[in-house]
């Protein structure tokens, strides 16, 4: 059975990724309004009824904006860590159906195996995920200041890897942004820069890897063409030109990519 990856959008203004089969799926983050999520699903010709649950990586608005309303509207459980739930509950941002998981403890949602893992980001209890269906795996690590050993190990063996490449360091330093914000982004609990993302390929790409999705790209401190060039150039040096690179967009959803174990 193939695993579908449908990216509704990725960036500082909203993040949402549907990992699915032809009949059921898991929405990773709901960083757009309910209306926008449904509109983007319609563009992709995906019936929202296939969504069985929402997974939340962390509590920042660009990942949870539509969570409460969408969860209630579609009667979906929203899965999150306990600390993330407590924060969202205090701020009236949780729906009526919730499910708590521990980072590092895997669980099942229908036929999908979910393996959450801790990442380093300036959030309460942020996580990435490996989602698998009949052995086909998609790894998601989109908000992290650096690639920890744990994150690298978890992403190994995935057929598809969705990885942050947030900013070009020099472009960020030259940007007209407050100094404290630059320091936050550049810190070890901020966002992953292009070079660190590309350097991690040596450790996270395995023989089974077939797709790379470069995610959470800054609109003013990065360049999507640059990200593509760096990723494809690195893969060429690794003699892995068989891997297809997708550079994700904030405003335009990506047509479904079907991934298989073969």
One DSSP character per residue, 216-235 reads ---SSS--HHHHHHHHHHHH
What is the chain's pLDDT, residue by residue, as a tens digit (262 residues)? Answer: 799 999 999 999 999 999 999 999 999 999 999 999 999 999 999 999 999 999 999 999 999 999 999 999 999 999 999 999 999 999 989 888 999 999 999 999 999 999 999 999 999 999 999 999 999 999 999 999 999 999 999 999 999 999 999 999 999 999 999 999 999 999 999 999 999 999 999 999 999 999 999 999 999 999 999 999 999 999 999 999 999 999 999 999 999 999 997 6
Which pLDDT belongs to residue 261?
79
Which pLDDT belongs to residue 262?
66
The alpha-carbon radius of gyration of the chain (Å, integer) is 17
Count other Cβ atoms within 10 Å, centred on residue 9: 24
Angle, helix 67-74 to helix 34-43, in steps of 10 degrees: 70
Which pLDDT belongs to residue 95?
87
| Cut 0.95: pTM above it | yes
Looking at domain 3-253, its CATH superfamily turns out to be: Ribonuclease Z/Hydroxyacylglutathione hydrolase-like (3.60.15.10)
The C-alpha atoms of residue 94 and residue 185 are separated, in whole angstroms, by 27
The edge-to-edge listing of strands for the beta sheet with 254-259 is 98-101, 78-81, 51-55, 25-28, 16-20, 3-9, 254-259
Which pLDDT belongs to residue 33?
98
Locate the domains of the chain by residue range. 3-253
CA distances from 250 to 15, 50, 126 (A): 8, 23, 21
Here the tokens at position 224 are 């999507």
The C-alpha atoms of residue 232 and residue 194 are separated, in whole angstroms, by 13
Residue pair 31/42 in contact by the 8 Å Cβ criterion? no
Which pLDDT belongs to residue 4?
98
């Amino acid at each position: 059975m193939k695993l579908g990856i449908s990216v509704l959008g990725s960036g500082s203004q909203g993040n949402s990724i549907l990992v699915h089969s032809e009949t059921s799926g898991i929405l990773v983050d709901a960083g757009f309004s309910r209306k926008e999520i449904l509109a983007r699903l319609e563009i992709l010709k995906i019936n929202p009824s296939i969504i069985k649950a929402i997974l939340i990586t962390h509590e920042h608005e660009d990942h949870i904006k539509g969570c409460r309303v969408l969860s209630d509207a579609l009667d979906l459980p929203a899965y999150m860590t306990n600390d993330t739930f407590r924060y969202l509950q205090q701020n009236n941002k949780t729906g009526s159906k919730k499910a708590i998981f521990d980072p590092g403890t895997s669980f099942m949602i229908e036929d999908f195996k979910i393996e959450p893992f801790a990442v380093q980001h300036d959030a309460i209890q942020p996580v990435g995920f490996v989602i698998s269906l009949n052995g086909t795996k998609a790894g998601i690590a989109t908000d992290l200041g650096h690639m920890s050993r744990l994150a690298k190990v978890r992403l190994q063996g995935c057929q598809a890897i969705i990885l942050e490449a947030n900013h070009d360091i020099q472009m960020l330093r030259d940007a007209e942004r407050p100094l404290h914000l630059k320091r936050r982004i550049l810190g070890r609990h901020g966002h992953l820069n292009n070079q660190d993302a590309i350097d991690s390929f040596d450790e996270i790409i395995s023989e089974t890897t077939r797709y790379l999705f470069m995610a959470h790209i800054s609109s003013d401190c990065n360049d999507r063409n640059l990200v593509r060039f760096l990723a494809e150039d690195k893969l060429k040096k690794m003699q892995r030109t068989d891997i297809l690179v997708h550079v994700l967009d904030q405003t335009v959803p990506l047509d479904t990519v079907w991934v298989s174990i073969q």
